[in-house]
Amino acid sequence: MFSGLKNHPFAIEAFFKTSLVLTFSVPKEQLQPLIPACLTLDTFQDKWAFLAVALVHTTGLRPKGFPPFMGHEFFLIGYRIFVRYTTNTGKKLRGLYILKSETDRKKIQFLGNIFTHYQYTTTDISQAISNHRIEIKSLTGGLSIAAETEQASPSLPPSSPFQSWKEARQYAGPLPFTFSFNQKKKEVLIVQGIREHWTPQPVEIKGYKVPFLDALHLQEPSLASAFIIRNIPYHWKKGRIEKWNG
């Protein structure tokens, strides 16, 4: 009876204090089985597909139009694949398909699993910022990431398929849309995000461990790029559903 609540029934707004996104390149054949048939991979050179790990310190998350004091502050770790979708009218959309979401707040897990399909779980997440360095850890989950954020000209990771940060920027996220698929009803849920003043800055990753990537049994996913943004207002429109005729 309440399944429709998971389809983003109202617009949401929030404020991103920081969003650090690591993008990993993987041969497209490895990510293809992880997305529904209604979506296609957003590839580079028709060879590489991409999975992003987004680490977001969020404040003020609330239904759009509600007063700020009603907002929630939390930390989010999201695991997302870059994809494309063609609507029934032929419009081509770029976006993300979310595999899993982790948060440090039980309330966000509870609400997230009521109003989204993003598979929230709760874990410990800590963030330390000092001397132009950010370290994010989850002791329970085994995740650890260290980033140098203020280098004037950081180098791309040696394993990156990109030749420049301009190329890498195409896969920095967030993309305009997020997609979910109801296999039983053959319905695609489309959620559009609206961003302001979005200027990702390249950062150098000094070390990382992401156990979720190991759990996917991917063969040597390679760090392709990393970007950070700070102090960005963001909101999501109410979800829109269309029938998939594939």
Q: Over the stretch 74-83, which tens digit does the pLDDT of each residue have? A: 999 999 999 9
Looking at the structure of the chain, the number of domains it has is 1
End-to-end CA distance of the chain: 27
Q: What tokens appear for 127 in the block? A: 């963030």
Residue 132 has a pLDDT of 87
Flag whether the pTM goes above 0.75.
yes
Residue 26: domain span: 3-243
Average pLDDT over residues 188-202: 90
The per-residue pLDDT for range 92-147, each reduced to its tens digit, is 999 999 999 999 999 999 999 999 988 999 999 999 998 889 999 999 999 999 99
Q: What tokens appear for 87 in the block? A: 């609507």
pLDDT band at residue 2 under the 50/70/90 scheme = low
Indicate which CATH number applies to the domain containing 83: 2.40.400.10
Distance CA 117, CA 233 (A): 23
